[in-house]
């Protein structure tokens, strides 16, 4: 483990390296405890006229066994090597350097570099894992053409994969064999990959638009091939979609995906050889929920789309991470929207953004979409870089329109194919293709924080004008106290009494084009003329800008919009706002020992939505789901008491269920009738709605019995997991809950991915006893501290998904937090650091919890020998 050196990397310090590595030859002789790596690098001085600067290669924990220059042993005086650097003191202008290192995959618990997962050799090199394999200029602007030879035991590893196309393979005698791979596309080292092991395969083929035939392979644990069928289908759909929507074709003869069970993140886009966390590959109705299917589709698409946005055009440096990630998330969002329901997808995206990115942007870890400094790049694979990064691309499309956006993308591909680019290059392509000036807009990349837009409206019936007073402000964030004014595109509609958008004759006070108000100044007074009747104003339709919006509006307008807004997202938003406000008020009353006191209009509206057959089931399911406890806490902002929020939310569910008991029962029964299972969006929507109705109805008497029946009659994992959640969370001490948990364990005990759901559901069960539950489950034989999926399912669900349990008033949750994070860090700093973000919002807690949380953070901070990953997160969290 690399301990923290406190070194800070700054964007302004970027400078091209003195040397280039046009060709890289790697040879691996694989063995678990001593893998021999021989790298032969063709190296050339970038600037022929420059002085011979020393060549400094990156390493991390390496053990050098030999060094040759142009094939001759390198005299010891000519170089120096430590575990994390190789320096050649005065290199010639052009030469070949051969370095031999020995690494130990079986001891690699950090899961970066070459490691073993279930006996399979695999690699993870992004961001800086390649330097754990061999010495290299391990930075994304060094593009090299790789030839890779892999040698291994045939029995242990009949399958030998690397990037690019296969060129040769053969037997070596003594049970050994080898394969050679060649990738013609120059790539940065973070895209290198190797897999060797004994795996099953699902093979298929794809013919590209120009007639190139591609062999597709998805490699999984033997016997699990059937569970990879959906992933293969998603892959082929992704390939077609990228051709149709972005004009991008695949470029190699093969495309392989390997599923491994130990993986730090979701998946990795290595050229021609994507490596996946198996939870984003394996699915069938028995073992995966509809959410799992949707995630698989999205992650398969995401990694595939990286082939153009990330691989063919890569990043100049890690500050530009959003260049590939934000753009690729935008592309996978659009793909899912086209494959499923656009409106439902948009609502889901916004919920995710608010749940993950808003707290980041509004807390101590806030950073711009393109950061200017970092201590540990692993900690910048964030919701801001990914999700807000995607929103920024979406806004570019809103501002330019579909055609100019596509022209800009085409120009970007044309100009930068084969290069390592920057955000400036990306923006310039859109400016040049469209004639727009994106100077002010570029602040979305440079300035952290969620902008606030506040709006008041006034209608003048005599003058027939509607005036909106709009003001923007960006709150201060760490190290950015003064903020500049942003270009914020706010899509809107003026909804007339009949529910239809009314036309206006003119608008002044801001640029208003195609239903979008472009805010550029602090204040705008936008006046619409020809508006005879007072409309309800629908703002930020489709969530056109990632801002918080405060609209001074009559309550009846919100209710009206929740019934009539023509924009599905805004319609969902209106009801969500109604519920959020009611929940905040209720939690305050609960703290004063009063009744929560909800308005019957909420229950009435919920009933109307449940029955409204003109709305998709998935939409109704989302609309009927009250904001989560964390959402409510975020809206309250300070002095949070999680117990009061939880009580308010439970009370709302019960209130709505009581008022609609018959209606909900009817709809619930009706939705039970389905044909054979299909993971498609419409079928998933029906299950989602029925499960939301169950969530409501289970608050009523007989709730445990109903949930238990739901569990026992379930024919798929979506329904089974939904029922188990209701039982374990709402009726934990009933025999029904105990029986369902035991049943589940008995059926799926051998299936680690399914057991992750069992761990996660219990770890998220509300209430003070959750701390003990989590401690008990950590000793379960199915749990393992070494596997990131297990860690996330148990501790991730507890730290980030259990407001009342984790934030237990006596601080026991925080003690478990500190103990656990320090324990995990010893093996896997990257995963420990990510779990540690679970306390980033500690300052919004009420004072007693705040102090206890601070003590736990301080205890971690004062531990000696912390990794760069963890100390970076903890110090920023405490700062
Ligand atoms: N580039 C990967 C993606 O598509 C992210 C990723 C996978 C990653 N594994 C990683 C990032 C390990 C850092 C470390 O989103
Ligand atoms: Zn990505």
Domains of the chain: 9-198 (2.60.40.1730), 314-446 (1.10.390.10), 453-543 (2.60.40.1840), 547-700 (1.25.50.10), 749-879 (1.25.50.10)
Specify the DSSP class assigned to residue 793.
Answer: I
**670-to-277, 556, 647, 726 alpha-carbon distances in Å:** 37, 32, 30, 20
Pairing of strands 144-153, 19-29: parallel
Measure 221 CA to ligand 1 centroid, in angstroms. Answer: 22
Specify the DSSP class assigned to residue 863.
Answer: S
State yes or no: is 25 an active-site residue: no
Pairing of strands 120-124, 144-153: unpaired
Q: Encode 114-134 in three state secondary structure.
A: EEEECCEEEEECCCCCHHHCC
The CB of 311 under 6 Å from ligand 1? The reply is no
Which residue matches tokens 């003690």?
Answer: 815
Cα 788 from chain centre = 15
Measure 26 CA to ligand 2 centroid, in angstroms. Answer: 25
Map residue 798 onto helix, strand or coil.
helix
Residue 276: how many other CB atoms lie within 10 Å:
25
Map residue 472 onto helix, strand or coil.
strand
Task: Enumerate residues with CB within 5 Å of ligand 2 (an ion).
Answer: 325, 328
Among 756, 813, 789, which Cα is nearest to 642's? Answer: 813
Q: Which two tokens stand for residue 494?
A: 């003026």
Phi and psi, residue 251, nearest 5°? -125, -5
Measure 336 CA to ligand 2 centroid, in angstroms. Answer: 15
Atom of ligand 1 nearest to the CA of 303: 4
Among 737, 810, 735, 741, which Cα is nearest to 769's? Answer: 810
- Give me the percent of the chain exceeding a pLDDT of 70: 100
Q: Which two tokens stand for residue 784?
A: 């393992």
Atom of ligand 1 nearest to the CA of 306: 4
Measure 527 CA to ligand 1 centroid, in angstroms. Answer: 47
| Burial 104-118, CB ≥16 within 10 A → b, else e | bbeebebbbbbbbbe
DSSP class per residue in 423-465? HHHHHHHHHHHH----TTTTHHHH--S--EEEEEEEEETTTTE
Is the distance from CB of 284 to CB of 226 less than 8 angstroms? yes
CA–CA separation, 424 vs 445, rounded Å?
10
Cα 379 from chain centre = 13
Q: Which two tokens stand for residue 267?
A: 């998946």
Is the distance from CB of 371 to CB of 452 less than 8 angstroms? no
The CB of 268 under 6 Å from ligand 1? The reply is yes
Q: Each residue of 142-158: pLDDT tens digit?
A: 999 999 999 999 999 99
CA–CA separation, 495 vs 539, rounded Å?
10
CA–CA separation, 217 vs 740, rounded Å?
38
Among 647, 640, 636, which Cα is nearest to 839's? Answer: 640
Among 168, 171, 132, 173, which Cα is nearest to 147's? Answer: 168
Atom of ligand 1 nearest to the CA of 299: 4
Protein residue with its CA nearest to atom 7 in ligand 1: 268
CA-based torsion, 865, 869, 875, 877: positive or negative: negative
**247-to-394, 421, 576, 585 alpha-carbon distances in Å:** 18, 20, 38, 51
CA–CA separation, 837 vs 822, rounded Å?
13
CA–CA separation, 167 vs 180, rounded Å?
6
From the CA of 115, the nearest ligand is 1
Map residue 866 onto helix, strand or coil.
coil
The CB of 303 under 6 Å from ligand 1? The reply is yes
Among 108, 110, 112, 123, which Cα is nearest to 28's? Answer: 123
Q: Which two tokens stand for residue 241?
A: 């979609």
Is the distance from CB of 33 to CB of 156 less than 8 angstroms? no
Which one from 126, 303, 349, 387 is the annotated catalytic residue? 303
Pairing of strands 420-421, 314-315: parallel
CA–CA separation, 262 vs 114, rounded Å?
12
Among 369, 552, 392, 549, which Cα is nearest to 472's? Answer: 549
H-run or E-run covering 257:
strand 254-260
| Burial 409-421, CB ≥16 within 10 A → b, else e | bebbbeebeeebb
Q: Residues in the chain, how many?
A: 879
Measure 733 CA to ligand 2 centroid, in angstroms. Answer: 42
Cα 383 from chain centre = 6
Phi and psi, residue 514, nearest 5°? 45, 45
Within 13 Å, how many C-alpha atoms sit on residue 539's CB side? 27
Q: Is the pTM of this model over 0.95?
A: yes
H-run or E-run covering 29:
strand 19-29
The CB of 381 under 6 Å from ligand 1? The reply is yes
Among 444, 468, 445, 450, which Cα is nearest to 547's? Answer: 450
Residue spans of the chain under pLDDT 70 = none
Question: What contacts 455, CB < 8 A, 6 or more positions away?
Answer: 468, 469, 470, 471, 537, 539, 549, 550, 551, 552
CA–CA separation, 216 vs 365, rounded Å?
40
Which residue matches tokens 């242990």?
Answer: 156
**Burial class of residue 2 (count of CB atoms within 10 Å of its CB; 0-12, 13-18, 19+):** middle
**842-to-114, 241, 380, 863, 877 alpha-carbon distances in Å:** 36, 43, 20, 20, 9
Map residue 593 onto helix, strand or coil.
coil
How much is the pLDDT for 48? Answer: 84
Helices 600-611, 661-672: crossing angle, 10 deg rounding: 20
Atom of ligand 1 nearest to the CA of 302: 4
Cα 395 from chain centre = 19
The CB of 265 under 6 Å from ligand 1? The reply is yes
Phi and psi, residue 491, nearest 5°? -75, 145
Measure 329 CA to ligand 2 centroid, in angstroms. Answer: 7
Map residue 368 onto helix, strand or coil.
coil
H-run or E-run covering 216:
strand 213-220
Question: What contacts 834, CB < 8 A, 6 or more positions away?
Answer: none
Protein residue with its CA nearest to atom 14 in ligand 1: 126
């Amino acid at each position: 483990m690399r301990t923290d050196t406190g070194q800070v990397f700054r964007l302004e310090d970027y400078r091209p390296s003195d040397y280039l590595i046009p060709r890289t030859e790697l040879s691996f002789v694989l063995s678990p405890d001593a893998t021999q790596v021989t790298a032969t690098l063709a190296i050339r001085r970038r600037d022929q006229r420059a002085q011979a600067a020393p060549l400094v290669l990156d390493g991390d924990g390496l053990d050098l066994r030999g060094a040759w220059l142009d094939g001759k042993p390198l005299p010891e005086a000519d170089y120096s090597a430590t575990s994390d650097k190789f320096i050649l003191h005065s290199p010639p202008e052009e030469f070949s350097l051969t370095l031999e290192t020995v690494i130990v995959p079986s001891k690699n618990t950090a899961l970066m570099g070459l490691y073993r997962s279930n006996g399979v050799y695999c690699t993870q090199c992004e961001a800086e894992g390649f330097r754990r394999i061999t010495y290299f200029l391990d930075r994304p602007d060094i593009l090299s053409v790789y030839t890779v030879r892999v040698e291994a035991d045939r029995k242990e590893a009949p399958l030998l994969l690397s990037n690019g196309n296969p060129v040769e393979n053969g037997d070596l005698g003594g049970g050994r064999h080898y394969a050679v791979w060649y990738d013609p596309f120059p790539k940065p080292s973070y895209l290198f990959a190797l897999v060797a092991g004994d795996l099953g395969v699902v093979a298929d083929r794809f013919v590209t638009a120009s007639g190139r035939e591609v062999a597709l392979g998805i490699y999984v644990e033997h016997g699990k091939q059937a569970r990879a069928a959906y992933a293969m289908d998603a892959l082929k759909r992704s390939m077609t979609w990228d051709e149709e929507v972005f004009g991008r074709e695949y470029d190699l003869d093969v495309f392989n995906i390997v599923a491994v069970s130990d993986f730090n993140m979701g998946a990795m886009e290595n050229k021609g050889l994507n490596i996946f966390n198996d939870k984003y590959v394996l699915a069938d109705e028995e073992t995966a929920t509809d959410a799992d299917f949707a995630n698989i589709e999205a992650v398969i698409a995401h990694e595939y789309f990286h082939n153009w946005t990330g691989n063919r055009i890569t990043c100049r440096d890690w500050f530009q991470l959003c260049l590939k990630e934000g753009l690729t998330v935008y592309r996978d969002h659009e793909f899912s929207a086209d494959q499923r329901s656009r409106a439902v997808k948009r609502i889901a995206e916004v919920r995710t953004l608010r749940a993950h990115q808003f707290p980041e942007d509004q807390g101590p870890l806030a950073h711009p979409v393109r950061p200017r400094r970092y201590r540990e790049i692993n900690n910048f694979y964030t919701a801001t870089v990914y999700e807000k990064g995607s929103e920024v691309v979406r806004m570019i499309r809103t501002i330019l329109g579909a055609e100019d956006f596509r022209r800009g993308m085409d120009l970007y591909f044309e100009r930068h194919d084969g290069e390592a680019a920057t955000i400036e290059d990306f923006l310039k392509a859109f400016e040049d293709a469209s004639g727009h000036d994106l100077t002010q807009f570029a602040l979305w990349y440079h300035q952290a924080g969620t902008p606030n837009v506040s709006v008041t409206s006034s209608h003048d019936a005599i003058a027939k004008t509607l005036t909106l007073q709009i003001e923007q402000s960006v709150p201060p964030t760490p190290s950015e106290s003064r903020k500049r004014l942003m270009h914020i595109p706010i899509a809107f509609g003026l909804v007339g009494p009949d529910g239809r958008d009314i036309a206006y004759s003119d608008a002044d006070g801001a640029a208003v084009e195609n239903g979008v108000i472009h805010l550029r100044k602090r204040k705008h007074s936008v006046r619409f003329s020809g508006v005879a009747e007072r409309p309800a104003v629908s703002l930020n339709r489709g969530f056109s800008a990632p801002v918080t919006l405060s609209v001074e509006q009559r309550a009846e307008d919100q209710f009206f919009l929740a019934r009539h807004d023509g924009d599905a997202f805004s319609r969902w938003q209106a009801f969500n706002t109604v519920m959020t406000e009611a929940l905040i008020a209720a939690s305050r009353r609960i703290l004063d020992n009063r009744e929560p006191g909800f308005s019957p209009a909420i229950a009435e509206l919920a009933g109307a939505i449940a029955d409204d057959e003109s709305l998709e089931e998935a939409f109704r399911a989302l609309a009927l789901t009250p904001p989560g406890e964390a959402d409510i806490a975020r809206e309250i902002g300070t002095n949070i008491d999680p117990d009061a929020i939880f009580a308010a939310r439970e009370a709302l569910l019960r209130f709505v269920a009581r008022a609609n008991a018959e209606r909900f029962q009817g709809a619930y029964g009706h939705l039970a009738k389905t044909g054979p299972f299909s993971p498609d969006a419409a079928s998933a929507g029906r299950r989602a709605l029925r499960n939301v109705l169950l969530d409501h109805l289970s608050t009523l008497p007989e709730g445990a019995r109903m949930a238990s029946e739901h569990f026992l009659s379930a024919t798929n994992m979506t329904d089974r997991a939904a029922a188990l959640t209701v039982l374990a969370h709402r009726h934990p001490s009933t025999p029904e809950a105990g029986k369902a948990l035991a049943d589940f364990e008995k059926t799926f005990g051998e299936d680690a991915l399914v057991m992750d759901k069992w761990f996660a559901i219990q770890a998220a069960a509300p209430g003070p006893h959750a701390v003990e539950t989590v401690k008990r489950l950590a000793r379960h034989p199915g749990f393992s501290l070494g596997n990131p999926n297990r860690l996330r399912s148990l501790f991730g669900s507890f730290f980030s998904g259990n407001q009342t349990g984790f934030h237990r008033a006596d601080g026991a949750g925080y003690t478990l937090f500190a103990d656990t994070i320090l324990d995990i860090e010893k093996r896997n700093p990257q995963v420990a650091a990510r779990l540690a973000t679970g306390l980033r919002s500690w300052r919004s807690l009420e004072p007693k919890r705040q102090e206890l949380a601070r003590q736990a953070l301080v205890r971690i901070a004062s531990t000696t020998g912390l990794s760069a990953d963890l100390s970076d997160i903890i110090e920023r969290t405490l700062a």
